[in-house]
Amino acid sequence: MVRTPAFQADSRGSTPRGAIFNLKIMFLSAHLLAGMSIGKATGNPYIAAPAGFISHYIIDALPHFEGSSFRKVGDKEEGFKNWVEWLLVILDLLFVIFILFYFKIWQHPTLLVGGFFAMLPDLIDHVPFWNKFFRKTKLFKWLHDKVHAEIHWTTYGKWIPVGILIDVIFIGVCFWYLIR
Ligand SMILES: [Zn+2]
């Protein structure tokens, strides 16, 4: 399996005009479940916060399927390309809402802290209302350009089923750990 450099982040770190998100974005629900699992494992919000944050980049670096898996080599990174990407993001967000209610996360502050910090890099880098603001600071520009955008391992073409399998296993294991 080859890491394809097809969708490297815009080296200027800016979101192209008209773009809604500059994807690549692993499922937010996977990050949330991972952060909650860290919260459960550590039982300590002060550990869960940084560990959750770091987990984001580790999970992005796993070979995974995501909306941009269907893009072609050479496509520019900008906004949503097609309805599949929209559909996946909507399903993902619905799953996030389901998880929050299913686990009644407001009753479990440590899971909440872990989950929030695990999603934070995407919330900072991919929400159009403030990502440009964050990108203006040295730290967040570096985090986006040199870490977040570089680390992703999205699967394409014949490797898409492998990416889906890894997504499903990862989400399943976290879910199982949280309910057991
Ligand atoms: Zn990410």
Tell me the pLDDT tens digit for each residue of 125-176.
Answer: 888 888 889 999 999 999 988 888 888 888 888 888 999 999 999 999 999 9
| pLDDT score, position 3 | 53
| pLDDT score, position 84 | 84
| pLDDT score, position 122 | 92
What is the CA(26)–ligand 1 centre distance, in A?
6
Q: Please measure the distance between the N-terminal and C-terminal CA atoms of the chain and give it in whole angstroms.
A: 34
pLDDT at residue 81 above 70?
Answer: no
15-45 tens-digit pLDDT: 333 333 345 778 999 999 999 999 999 999 9
What is the CA(58)–ligand 1 centre distance, in A?
9
Q: Which residue has the higher pLDDT, 153 or 93?
A: 93
What is the CA(76)–ligand 1 centre distance, in A?
18
Measured distance CA(11)–CA(108) in Å, rounded: 40
Of the ranges 63-67, 102-106, 135-139, the best mean pLDDT one: 102-106
What is the CA(35)–ligand 1 centre distance, in A?
13
- Its pTM stands at 0.83
| pLDDT score, position 17 | 32
What is the CA(25)–ligand 1 centre distance, in A?
5
**Where are the chain's structural domains?**
28-179
What is the CA(157)–ligand 1 centre distance, in A?
21
Measured distance CA(6)–CA(79) in Å, rounded: 15
Any bridge partners for residue 154, and if so which? 64
